[in-house]
Amino acid sequence: MIKSAVDPACTGQFSPLFLDYISEKHELKRFYNQFPKIENFKLLIDSKIFGQSERLLLVEALRSQYQTIEVSEVWENQIERLKDSKTFTVTTGHQLNLFTGPLYFIYKIISTINLAKKLKAEYPEYHFVPVYWMGAEDHDFDEVNYFKLDGKRYQWDSEQKGAVGEFEIDASFKDFVNQLHFVPALFKEAYLSSKTLSEAARKYVHALFGEEGLIIIDGNDSKLKAPFVEVMKADMLDHQPFEKAAKATQALEDLGYKSQIFPREINFFYMKQGLRERIEKVDGRYLVLNSEFIFSKEELIEEITNYPERFSPNVVLRPLYQEMVLPNIAYLGGPAEVAYWFQLKGVFDHFAVPFPAVMPRNFAVVMDALAQKKQLQLGLSDEDLFVRFEDWKKQYVASHATLDIQLNSEKRELEEILTRAAEKATEVDKSLNGAFESAKVRSIKIMDHLSGKIRKAEERRQEVDLNRMRALKEMLFPGGSPQERVENMMKFYLGDDQFVEKLLTIFDPLDFSFLILKLQDE
């Protein structure tokens, strides 16, 4: 696999906020803590306060969560290290997409693992544990119930409701899995030996990355939520997080940036088996939408105190929850995630929780031999791969045409003829000048019309090359979307079971370039 890189700005895939951040624009400094440079991590280490009781609670929860998995010595070492005050985590998070979902799920985890390695090399007196935070509480099943491979969508439909991680692997799901004859054994084993989607996701992610020291955590845990009770009360009773997040959101909008998330007065869902619905305050009472649950203020406080696991934070407070239960110093995410963390620093400051380094994951497009061949045939630079097809076509057809498509010299000659004729005619009658000027305009329109016909003819003549570019674009941007947001890892893993290992050797989480990865024949 050969790596090259382009500036993210040339890809057209990133927001101005994201590009300004990785360029360290001064105006954004107040919205984060430390910029993710290797030398800044010592400041993050020194500022992270995480007590021994919190570490022991974390270890206890993790051991409980891993009960159904046969763990290795590597995992045991990582868990024991978490008890040490010199151990810190670096974290990424994602929903429970079936069979890992799009490629960037894998990219997130590899970026996180490699960051832990780089930090260990730079700060050998400390230890760094990469963490995948499972989005098991998410209830948007339609967003995760499928994966795409080579243009085909594989989807499981279910009538189950509530937190996706609690969805049972029932007979219909087992039938769905058994029909996927091409799926690697590690996925089938994970799903068919598990009771829930969260259990299965833990198993296959552990199978892929466990030996790299990755720890998988599920926030849907009564032990972990107990310390979050005071934040729950502050949010639902006094709306303090809303005020802080809304202030930062307005400040970013005043700088001309678009919001990624929209804080609510109450940023929690009420969650039970088969239910995860928003809580709203109406006439002094707390309603769980689309359910029969209604609480008075006193009843809500009692419910929070006795059953904190029933309250699930939304995107505004999930990052705070994560940072309160992990000795974390960095979060790695996609461009939208990086952007929405900037709306939350005031929330962290309010609760006196250190804000981690917010880092872009690695971004990449993978080119197989056929895609590379088409790039070579068309003479495309790596930057050219990201140019809009219509813009590229216009330039390419014109530059490879047998004549000037615009008929520029012919237009000039015609204009000169009419100008000379006008000069002679106006010697006879000055009023004829207007008629000649109108003739010029009509003539240029006729030439433009003919130019369009010539362009169409050239497009037909160059159809082979245009179709090559269309095919290449579909490979790299299936359906018009970036490859990493559509294709499943199996597109490359099925042909090379070392695909993940190769990415581990290539990705550098401190390099924010967009990578072009060209597969090589073995």
Rounded distance between C-alpha atoms, residue 203 and residue 206, angstroms: 5
What is the DSSP pairing of strand 268-272 with strand 275-282?
antiparallel
Token pair in block for residue 492: 């490359």
Report pLDDT for 393: 86
Is the pLDDT score of 59 beyond 70? yes
Q: Which of 235-249, 359-373, 389-403 has the lowest mean pLDDT?
A: 389-403
Report pLDDT for 416: 75
pLDDT, tens digit, for every residue of 206-226? 999 999 999 999 999 999 999
Mean pLDDT of the region 199-205: 97
Report pLDDT for 328: 98
Pair 516, 364: CB distance under 8 Å: yes
Pair 203, 221: CB distance under 8 Å: no
Neighbouring C-alpha atoms within 13 Å toward the C-beta of 513: 14
Rounded distance between C-alpha atoms, residue 143 and residue 95, angstroms: 9
Is the pLDDT score of 401 beyond 70? no
Is the pLDDT score of 173 beyond 70? yes
Report pLDDT for 454: 67
Rounded distance between C-alpha atoms, residue 112 and residue 131, angstroms: 7
- Name residue 127's beta-bridge partners: 87
Report pLDDT for 407: 62
- Name residue 275's beta-bridge partners: 272
Closest CA to 366 of 503, 207, 263: 503
Closest CA to 206 of 198, 215, 197: 215
Report pLDDT for 240: 93
Instruction: Give the confidence band of 422 by pLDDT, cuts at 50, 70, 90.
Output: confident
Burial letters for 210-222: b for 16+ Cβ neighbours within 10 Å, e otherwise?
A: bebbbbbbbbbbe
Pair 277, 163: CB distance under 8 Å: no
Report pLDDT for 440: 76
Report pLDDT for 398: 76
Report pLDDT for 438: 83
Instruction: Give the confidence band of 202 by pLDDT, cuts at 50, 70, 90.
Output: very high
Among residues of the chain, what percentage have pLDDT more than 70?
Answer: 97
Would you state the torsion angle of the CA atoms of residues 266, 271, 277, 280, taken in this order, to the nearest 10 degrees?
-30
Instruction: Give the confidence band of 403 by pLDDT, cuts at 50, 70, 90.
Output: low
Token pair in block for residue 271: 């969650």
Token pair in block for residue 168: 């049972």
Radius of gyration of the chain (CA): 29
- Write down the residue that tokens 């769905």 correspond to: 176
Is the pLDDT score of 232 beyond 70? yes
Angle at which helices 297-306 and 229-238 cross, to 10°: 160
pLDDT, tens digit, for every residue of 444-494? 787 777 766 767 777 777 788 889 999 999 999 999 999 999 999 999 999
Report pLDDT for 423: 79
- Name residue 269's beta-bridge partners: 278, 312
Is the pLDDT score of 350 beyond 90? yes
Amino acid present at 184: P
Closest CA to 229 of 295, 139, 132, 317: 317
Instruction: Give the confidence band of 73 by pLDDT, cuts at 50, 70, 90.
Output: very high
Token pair in block for residue 326: 């992990």
- Which DSSP string do the residues of 107-170 spell out, in sequence order? HHHHHHHHHHHHHHHH-TTSEEEEEEEEETT---HHHHSEEEETTEEEE------S-GGG-B--
Rounded distance between C-alpha atoms, residue 278 and residue 269, angstroms: 4
Instruction: Give the confidence band of 405 by pLDDT, cuts at 50, 70, 90.
Output: low
Is the pLDDT score of 132 beyond 70? yes
Report pLDDT for 288: 97
Helix (H, G, I), strand (E, B) or coil at 417: helix
Is the pLDDT score of 104 beyond 80? yes
Instruction: Give the confidence band of 120 by pLDDT, cuts at 50, 70, 90.
Output: very high
Q: Which of 47-51, 356-360, 518-522 has the lowest mean pLDDT?
A: 518-522
Mean pLDDT of the region 363-391: 96
| Burial of 152 per CB tally in 10 Å (0-12, 13-18, 19+) | exposed
pLDDT, tens digit, for every residue of 257-312? 999 999 999 999 999 999 999 999 999 999 999 999 999 999 999 999 999 999 99
Instruction: Give the confidence band of 421 by pLDDT, cuts at 50, 70, 90.
Output: confident
Closest CA to 508 of 119, 29, 183, 68: 119
The overall average pLDDT reported for the chain is 93
